[in-house]
């Protein structure tokens, strides 16, 4: 049981209790804390209050978060598109609609379920039972190259490269509008959106440093085909950065109001190439995932 007490500062005078607590713990959802409050795990001045309680300066808010109950993750015989594999790691081409690792509402059908079946007991354990082998991730509706580590040594070695921004990650995407500059760099911090917790946003105050390099590959009447090179790997980074300059990704309903003439499942974004130093051979290797069929068809139609 995690138990902490906070004194309400002047700037939060009049704030709802559930919103205040969700600000204190940004890694959890607001609905999580609404349930916590409903279950009597949040008190104000030692008295249980409802979610809509309005806070006063110097109120003492005590939050008790029960220990997480680990859900058992089971191997599932789900076909994998394996681009490369050896004794230390594999690189898979993740399909659209597949969640990388289990989370609330997604305990089956994830990439982790599939690799557990494929690799049996050969997966790194650094990220715990719920994320074995997972050293980085891509969004559910983004396709493409993803490294999976089979042992802890490989995991540490690859994770260090990701931390140092030395992994070469190049994406392909189609954005709304005609991008004027042939290439450029967006350097703007990304953090949780202050109002909509499903979204990330350019957040100067609470965001983490984020850098995206972009290059125009082809311009069309209303769209632009682009390559993106990630220097950092923030949640929704390319999607947020491109939306911030007025060119959100085609099909991205979270960061765009643009109407798409195509029937799409989420953003038109593909993690095409990943390059890294191999943990055992210490040699640089680069692996690319071919563009998915739907992506090729859109390009064909646009041309």
Which entry of 18, 59, 88, 139 is annotated as an active-site residue? 139
Q: Is the pLDDT of residue 224 over 90?
A: yes
What is the per-residue pLDDT for 69?
56
The mean per-residue pLDDT over the stretch 233-241 comes to 95
Instruction: Give pLDDT tens digits for 93-137.
Output: 999 999 998 876 677 899 999 999 999 888 998 877 778 899 999
Query: Comparing 197 with 172, which gets the higher pLDDT?
Result: 172
CA distance 230 to 169: 6
SS3 labels along 99-127 = CCCCECCECCCCHHHHHHHHHCCCCCCCC
pLDDT number for residue 31:
66
Question: By three-state DSSP, how is residue 7 classified?
Answer: strand
pLDDT in tens, 5-55: 999 988 899 999 988 888 887 666 666 777 888 889 999 999 999 989 999
Q: Give the pLDDT of residue 107.
A: 78
Using only C-alpha atoms, the chain has a radius of gyration, in whole angstroms, of 22
Whether residue 139 lies in the annotated active site: yes
Task: Provide the 10 A C-beta neighbour count for residue 274.
Answer: 23
CB neighbour class for 96 (10 Å; exposed up to 12, middle 13-18, buried from 19): buried
211-219 and 223-230 strand pairing = antiparallel
Percent of the chain with pLDDT over 70: 95
Contact by Cβ (8 Å): 188, 198: no
The strand ranges marked E within 8-77 are 42-44, 47-48, 60-65
Mean pLDDT of 173-184: 97
Looking at the chain, how many residues does it have?
303
pTM for the structure as a whole:
0.76
pLDDT of 260 over the 80 cut: yes
pLDDT on residue 27? 63
Burial of 6 (C-beta count, 10 Å sphere; 0-12/13-18/19+): middle
Q: Which pLDDT score is estimated for 105?
A: 67
């Amino acid at each position: 049981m995690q138990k902490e007490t906070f004194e309400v500062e002047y700037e939060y005078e009049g704030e709802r209790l559930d919103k205040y607590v969700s600000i204190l713990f940004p890694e959890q959802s607001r609905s999580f804390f609404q349930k916590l409050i409903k279950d009597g795990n949040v008190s104000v001045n030692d008295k249980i209050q409802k979610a809509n309680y309005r806070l006063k300066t110097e109120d003492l808010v005590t939050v008790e978060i029960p220990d997480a109950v680990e859900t058992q993750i089971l191997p599932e015989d789900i076909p994998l598109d394996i681009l490369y594999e050896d004794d230390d790691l594999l690189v898979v081409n993740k399909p659209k609609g597949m969640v990388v690792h289990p989370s609330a509402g997604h305990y089956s059908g994830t990439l982790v379920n599939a690799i557990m079946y494929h690799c049996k007991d050969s997966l790194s354990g650094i990220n715990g039972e719920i994320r074995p082998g997972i050293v980085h991730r891509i969004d559910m509706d983004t396709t493409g190259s993803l490294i999976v580590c089979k042992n802890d040594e490989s995991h540490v070695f690859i994770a260090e490269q990701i931390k140092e921004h030395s992994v070469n990650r190049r994406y392909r995407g189609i954005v709304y509008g005609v991008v004027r500059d042939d290439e450029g760099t967006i350097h703007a911090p990304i953090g949780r959106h202050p109002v909509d917790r499903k979204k990330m946003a350019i957040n100067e105050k609470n965001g983490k440093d984020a850098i995206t390099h972009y290059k125009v590959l082809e311009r069309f009447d209303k769209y632009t085909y682009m390559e993106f090179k990630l220097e950092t790997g923030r949640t929704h980074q390319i999607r947020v950065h491109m939306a911030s300059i007025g060119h959100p990704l085609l099909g991205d309903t979270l960061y765009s109001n643009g109407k798409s003439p195509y029937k799409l499942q989420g953003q038109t974004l593909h993690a095409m190439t990943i390059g890294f130093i191999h943990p055992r051979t210490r040699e640089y290797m680069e692996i690319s995932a071919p563009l998915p069929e739907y992506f090729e068809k859109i390009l064909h139609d646009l041309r």
